[in-house]
Amino acid sequence: MDIMNISLNSSIPGYNYTLKSKDETPDEIKTPKELEEEEKSDNENTIGVKELSEGEKEQVIDLQARDAEVKAHEAAHQGGGGGAATYTYQQGPDGKMYAIGGEVSISLESGSTPEETIANAQQVIAAATAPANPSSQDMAVAASAKSMIIKAQQEKAKELIDEAEGKEAYKVASIKGADVQSNEEGMNPLSSLNISA
C-alpha cells in the first residue's frame, strides 16, 4: 500500500503544499498550552509599554485579518476530512502572536481495492477543495488525487473486462464440451434436427 502524506499549507505570501514523511514534524509547532503561556508572558511584558503608532496599529489589523483568514482556511481543510492543523506564528507590535501560515496533513494512500483507492482519493479532494478559495497548491493536491482516481478506475475496468472475458471463455468451453460429449456418445449434434425440403 502506497502512502503519501500531503500537507495543505497556507503560508505567506501565497499558499503551497509540501510532501512530508510521517516522521517529519515542523520546527515551529507549539501546543495550545505553550501558546497560551507565551501569550500570557507577552501580555505581562507589554504592561506599561508605550502606545502603538498608527503604522503599528495598521500592522496589528493586518495580522489579525491574516490570522483569521489562515485559521478559517485550515478549519475548512479539517472540516473536509483533513488532519490536525498546525500554524506558523508571528509576533505583532502589540506583543501578541498571530497565525501567518498553517497546514493540514492529509494521507493520500492507495487502497487494497480500486474502490478503496477511489474513496481515499475522494476524501483528499474534499479536504483540499473545502476552503472557499482553494489555493493553486490546494488544487494541485486535488489534481493528484484525481489522477489516482483515474488510475483506480482503469484498474477496475480492466478487472471487469478480465472477468467478462473469463465468463465468455467458460461459456465457449462449456458449449464445446457439450459438442465433444455428444460426439463421444456417437451422436451427431445435428442428427436431431429435422430438415425438410
CB 88 within 8 A of CB 11: yes
Give the highest mean pLDDT range of 4-8, 84-88, 188-192: 84-88
Mean pLDDT value of segment 67-79 = 94
CB 121 within 8 A of CB 156: no
**Residue 51, Cβ neighbours under 10 Å: how many?**
6
| Full-model pTM | 0.57
Give the highest mean pLDDT range of 39-43, 81-85, 99-103: 99-103
Tell me which amino acid residue 113 is: T
- Looking at per-residue pLDDT, the higher value among 34 and 93 belongs to 93
CB 99 within 8 A of CB 67: yes
Q: What pLDDT, on a 0 to 100 scale, did the predictor assign at position 75?
A: 93
> What are the cell numbers at 147?
489522477
Average predicted confidence (pLDDT) for the chain: 76
**pLDDT tens per residue, range 140-170:** 999 999 999 999 999 999 988 888 887 776 6
Please enumerate in sequence order all residues whose Cβ is within 8 A of that of 121, keeping only pairs 6 or more positions apart, or say none. Answer: 108, 145, 146, 148, 149, 152
**pLDDT tens per residue, range 33-65:** 676 777 666 655 544 446 999 999 999 999 999
> What are the cell numbers at 109?
494512500
Please name every residue paired with 98 in a beta bridge, in sequence order, or none if there are none. Answer: 90
> What are the cell numbers at 50?
508605550
Percent of the chain with pLDDT over 90: 43
Report strand pairing: 16-20 vs 3-9: antiparallel
What letters, b where the CB count within 10 A reaches 16 and e where it falls short, cover 59-88? Answer: bbeebeebbebbbebbbbbbebbbbebbbb
Q: What pLDDT, on a 0 to 100 scale, did the predictor assign at position 55?
A: 93
The arrangement of strands across the sheet holding 97-109 comes to: 16-20, 3-9, 97-109, 85-91
